[in-house]
């Protein structure tokens, strides 16, 4: 499985934008890029996913580099509730199961 590299931790201030980077230099042409987040004492929660084009939803935006070797999750206006561990995951082509392989993720701290 292609691997991802994320910073262990990041810190930001409330109501400011947050850019969470992810490197995936060995990504294959058909791998999807998924982002999940895990709030304290909860299971992971889907945030967003994409293949080649940038994606937006009500939670966040996903910016994918043209060569697809990196991506950035953008929280446009962070709130205290966004404090969580954020996981960047590559999903290989369908082989009968979507078995997500989680790494260590980035622990995001939001300062009031």
We find the least distance from the C-beta atom of residue 14 to another protein, in angstroms, to be 25
We find the least distance from the C-beta atom of residue 74 to another protein, in angstroms, to be 19
Residues found near another protein in the complex (CB under 8 A): 32, 34, 36, 41-46, 49, 51, 85, 87, 91-94, 96-105
Residue among 34 and 78 whose Cβ is closer to another protein: 34
Instruction: Specify burial of residue 72 (Cβ count, 10 A radius: 0-12, 13-18, 19+).
Output: middle
What is the number of other CB atoms lying within 10 angstroms of the CB of residue 71? 24
Residue among 29 and 96 whose Cβ is closer to another protein: 96
Residue among 15 and 45 whose Cβ is closer to another protein: 45
């Amino acid at each position: 499985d292609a691997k991802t590299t994320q910073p262990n931790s990041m810190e930001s201030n409330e109501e400011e934008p947050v850019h969470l980077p992810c490197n995936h230099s060995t990504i294959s042409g058909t791998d999807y890029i998924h982002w999940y987040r895990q709030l304290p004492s909860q299971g992971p929660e889907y945030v967003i996913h994409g293949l080649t084009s940038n994606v937006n939803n009500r939670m966040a935006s996903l910016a994918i580099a043209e060569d697809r070797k990196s991506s950035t999750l953008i929280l446009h206006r962070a709130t205290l509730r966004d404090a969580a561990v954020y996981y960047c995951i590559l999903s290989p082509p369908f082989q009968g199961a979507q078995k997500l392989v989680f790494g260590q993720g980035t622990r995001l701290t939001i300062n009031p």
